[in-house]
Copies of this chain bind each other. A is one copy, B any other.
Amino acid sequence: MKSLSDETLSHVAKFLRAMGEPTRLKILRALHDGELTVSEIIARTQATQSNVSKHLTILTMMGILASRKEGTSTYYKIADPNITGICDTVCRSIAEKIRQERSTLNNIRKGVTL
């Protein structure tokens, strides 16, 4: 962690931003259990075709997703199994953290004092 060059740091940042978008997180979640066609991803994310297509392009350019064509369909999948792990870890940790904060806030709202 100490010896990351500016360039690497910027790559890491870019990577985090690539995952830091709700629709892209939905896409990653949808692809968690295996590959899907664009149409299937559109159906699951409830986003427009154009929008999904762009997000898929971004994720692919970042090396997060990989695609293969079959007929008129394009199948996307998570490129690197490690990604799934990172994604799960981060999402679970953050979601848990947020959950805790929310309950803390709720307690404060309820007038609980320390």
Asked if A68 is at the interface (CB within 8 A of a chain B CB), the reply is no
Output the least CB separation between A51 and chain B (Å): 15
| Chain A contact residues, majority secondary structure | helix
Report the bound CA distance from A99 to B85 in whole Å: 18
| A63 x B101 contact (CB < 8 A) | yes
Q: Which residues of B contact A2 (CB under 8 A)?
A: 29, 32
Report how many copies the assembly holds.
2
| B20 x A13 contact (CB < 8 A) | yes
* A:83-105 near B, CB below 8 Å: 85-95, 97-99, 101
Chain A residues at the B interface, C-beta cutoff of 8 Å: 1-2, 4, 6, 8-17, 19-22, 24-26, 29, 32, 63, 80, 82, 85-95, 97-99, 101
6 A-B pairs with least C-beta separation:
A16-B20, A17-B20, A13-B22, A12-B94, A13-B20, A15-B94
